[in-house]
A and B are shown apart, each in its own frame.
Chain A
Amino acid sequence: MHATALPYTLPDARGYFGAFGGAFVPEILVPALEDLTRAFEEARHDPAFQACYHGLLRDYVGRPTALTYAERLTQHLGGGRIYLKREDLCHTGAHKINNAIGQILLARRMGKTRIIAETGAGQHGVATATVCARFGMPCVVYMGAEDMERQRLNVQRMRLLGAEVRPATSGSQTLKDATNEAIRDWVTNVRDTFYIIGSVVGPHPYPAMVRDFHTIIGREVRAQLEEKEGRSTPDILVACVGGGSNAIGLFHPFLDEPSVRCIGVEASGEGLDGRHAATLTLGSPGILHGALSYLLQDEEGQVQLAHSISAGLDYPGVGPEHAWLKESGRVEYIPATDAEALEGVKLLSSTEGIIPALETAHAVAGLARFAPSTRPDELIVLNCSGRGDKDMATIAEAL
C-alpha cells in the first residue's frame, strides 16, 4: 500500500486526486465550472446555506437515516457485527437526494432557472425531479432509452413530478449516453441551466462537490456507532460502486483513519470474462465525461459498453477519486456478478426484511463473501444505498 498523505485533503486546487480528475470539457463550459467552484466554496462556508441544506435533509429527506443492526444477517454470515446504513429510508428511496438537495440550493444561489440531469437507474433522476418540484424549477432528465424500459416505474415517477424525461438513443442507450446528452444540453444552454450531476464523476468541481453533499452518510455513521457501540470507528465499510457516490459518502469521513478498511464492490455483470461494468478491476486510465479516471475502453481508446443487471452500476467509468483510492491502495475494490447480486437481494430480504436496490445488492454480495472470515468483535457497516421497489420487475424476471 502506498502511503496516503494525512490529513486527506484531495482534490488539489486544480481538481486532481493524484493523477486523476481535472476538467476535460469544451471551452464553453469553463466559465460555468469556475462560477460553480466559486459558488460552492462560498456556500460551504456560509452558515445560512448550511442551515438550509441540513434543514431540508432533516425535514424533507428524513435524516438522519437509521443505522440498523442486522442481527439475523450477522448470525447467518457468522463473522463481525453488521450494521446497515439505511439510505434506502431517504425520501425517494436512495441516497441520491442528499446531493440533489445540495445542488439545487446552489443552482438557486447562482440564479439559474433551469435544471438538467442524467440518470441511469432513475434514482438520481427521481431525486432531481423531486427537488425541482419542491422548488418549482423546470427539469429535463436524460435517460438511456434502454434504461427507460428497464426502469419504467422511475420514468413514471419523474413525469408525475413534472420533469421531462428525454431518451438518449445514441450508443448503448444507457447512462453513458444519457450523460453525453446532458453535457451537450449544458453546452447549449449554459447561461441559464444548472447541470445536477448524479455521481462523483464529471469535471472539477463535481466529484468533490457531490462527495461533500454525501459525506453526511459517513458522519452520521460515526455518531451512531458511538451511541450504539461506544466507539466511533468501524473496522470495515462496504458499499457498491458505479460512479461511486454512496461509497465515497460513507468512506470519506474515515479515510484519515488507516485502521478503517474500506471495500467498494463493482458490478462484474456476467463475470469478468463476459460483459461487465468492473471499471476499477479491469479498466485503464482514460478520459470520459470531463474527467481523467479509470475507464472500460478498447486498445483504440474507444469507450466500451458496460453491462450490469443494475442500471445504476451499468457505467464504463468511475469517479476519479475512486481511481486515486484504488491506486493509493487506501480502498479495496472487488467485483460481484449479476447472479451474486440477485443472491444478495434474496439474502438481505430474507434475513432482515429489507429489499435492497440491485445496486446495493452488489455490496451485500461482496459482504457475504468476506464477512464470514471476519472476527465477531469487528464492526462492519454496509451502505444500504437504496431500496429495491424500482427493481421488482427485473428481479422477478431474473429469479
Chain B
Amino acid sequence: MSRLRTHLQSLLDRQEKALGLFITSGFPQRQATPDLLRAMDAGGADFIELGMPFSDPLAEGLPIQRSSARALAGGITMKDTLAHAAAFTASSDTPLLLMGYGNPVMRYGISNFFRDAGSSGVQGVILPDVLPDPDSPFFRAAAEHGVDTVCLVSPTTPTERLERIDELSSGFVYAVSVTGVTGSDTGDQDPILDYLRRIRSTIRRNPVLVGFGIRSAANVRAMVSAADGAIVGSALVDFVGALWDDPTLGHQDRLDAVTAFVADLKAGTKR
C-alpha cells in the first residue's frame, strides 16, 4: 500500500473523511506558492494537489483556466513547481500530489518528470487527459519511480471500465461529480450521491474521492456521506485570487484567511 493510500486509510479508520485541496502552482504570484501550501496545511488539508499550469487545460472551467494563465504570465516553470513541491514535502507529512496535463510532462521528459517528482517527495500525479493504460509511458514511469497515478472516473464511465480503472489507479480513485469541467455548477446533489454509491460498490481496491464543483463545507459534508473524501479546487482558487486582488489586505491576513477557509471545509469531513 502506497504512502498516500495508507494516509487516507488512517483517516478512514478513525471515521474521518479526507479533504483534498487544489491550488495552481505560481498563482496568484510565482513566489506565493510556498506560503499558500503551508497555510492550506495549517487549515487541515489531508492532502494537496499542486496544479502544473498548462496553456490549454481542457478539463478546467474558468477559475482554474484563469489561474493557469496568470501563473504562466508570472513565469512559473515546471522546475519551480517541483521545487515548491520539494520544499513543502521536506517540512510537512501532508501528502502532496501534482495535477496537470500530459503535454508539459511529455516536454519535460516523462521518465525524468516522474523521477524528479518522486525525489521531490510527490506522492501522486493526476493527469486528466492521460487515460489509464499500464503500457503507456506515463504509467510505466510512474510505477518505476514509485509515484501513485490517481485515475479519474465520471458519471458516464461504464461498470466494466470502473473495474479496470480501479485496477490501474493508485492512491485513490478521483470521481468527477458531474459531466463537466472543474468548477461546474453541480445542481441537485442527490443524483451525485446515487452515482457515488453506485461506483463505490464497484470500486473496491481504492478509496473514492469526489471533486469538481464542490464549493463549501456544506457541499463537502453532503458528498462525504457517499464518498471517502472530497476535493475542492476552483472555489479555493477563486477565494485566493480575490484575496490577492484586495490591496487592503496584508500578506499574513491573506494567509490567515486561507487557513480559516480550509479549516471550515475540513469541518465538513468530520462526524
**Beta-carbon contact of A183 and B55 below 8 Å:** no
Residue A119 at the chain B interface, CB threshold 8 Å: no
Q: Which residues of B (89-132) have their CB < 8 Å from a CB of A?
A: 101-108, 128-131
Alpha-carbon distance between A288 and B106 when the two chains are bound, in angstroms = 12
Contact assessment for A286 and B179 in the assembled complex, using a CB-CB cutoff below 8 Å? no
In the complex the two chains form, what is the Cα distance from A183 to B55 in whole Å? Answer: 15
CB distance from B105 to the nearest CB of A (A): 7
29 contacts between A and B (CB under 8 A): A23-B131, A24-B102, A27-B128, A27-B151, A27-B176, A28-B154, A28-B176, A28-B179, A28-B180, A30-B131, A30-B161, A170-B69, A171-B55, A171-B56, A180-B56, A183-B58, A184-B181, A187-B180, A188-B179, A188-B181, A190-B179, A191-B156, A191-B179, A285-B106, A286-B106, A288-B103, A303-B55, A303-B56, A303-B103
B contact residues vs A (CB 8 Å cutoff) = 54-56, 58-59, 61, 65, 69, 72, 77-78, 101-108, 128-131, 151-158, 161, 165, 176, 179-181, 184
Check if A297 sits within 8 Å of B158, measured CB to CB: no
Q: B129: which A residues are within 8 A, CB to CB?
A: 24-26, 287, 290
Prevailing SS type, chain A contact patch: mixed
Which residues of A, 132-185, contact B by the 8 Å Cβ criterion?
Answer: 170-171, 176, 180, 183-184
Nearest B residue to A317 via CB reads B56
CB atoms of A297 and B103 under 8 A apart: yes
Binary interface encoding of chain A residues 15-53 relative to chain B, with 1 for a CB under 8 A from any of its CBs, else 0: 000000001111110111000000000000000000000
What is the minimal beta-carbon distance from A69 to any residue of chain B, in angstroms?
44
Chain A residues within an 8 Å CB radius of B153: 27
In the complex, which residue of chain A has the Cβ closest to the Cβ of B59?
Answer: A26
The residue in B58, B69, B157 that gathers the most chain A C-beta atoms within 10 A of its C-beta is: B58
Interface size on A, as a range, is: 20 to 34
B-chain residues with CB within 8 Å of residue A170 when the two chains form the complex: 65, 69
Q: Is A382 an interface residue (CB 8 A)?
A: no
A297 and B107 contact, CB distance less than 8 A: yes
Q: Which residue of A lies closest to B68 (CB)?
A: A302
A302 to B104, CA, bound (A): 7
A301 CB to closest chain B CB (Å) equals: 3
Question: A337 CB to closest chain B CB, in angstroms?
Answer: 25
A377 contacts B by Cβ under 8 Å: no
A190–B106 touching, CB < 8 Å:
no
User: A273 contacts which chain B residues (CB < 8 A)?
Assistant: none
* CB of B222 to closest CB in A, whole Å: 21
B78's nearest neighbour on chain A, judged by CB, is A300
When each residue 199-237 of chain A gets 1 if its CB lies under 8 Å from chain B and 0 otherwise, what string results?
000000000000000000000000000000000000000
Q: Is the CB of A286 within 8 A of B103?
A: yes
**Which chain A residue shows the least CB distance to B175?**
A27
Asked if A295 CB lies within 8 Å of chain B CBs, one says: yes
A286 touches B107 (CB 8 A): yes
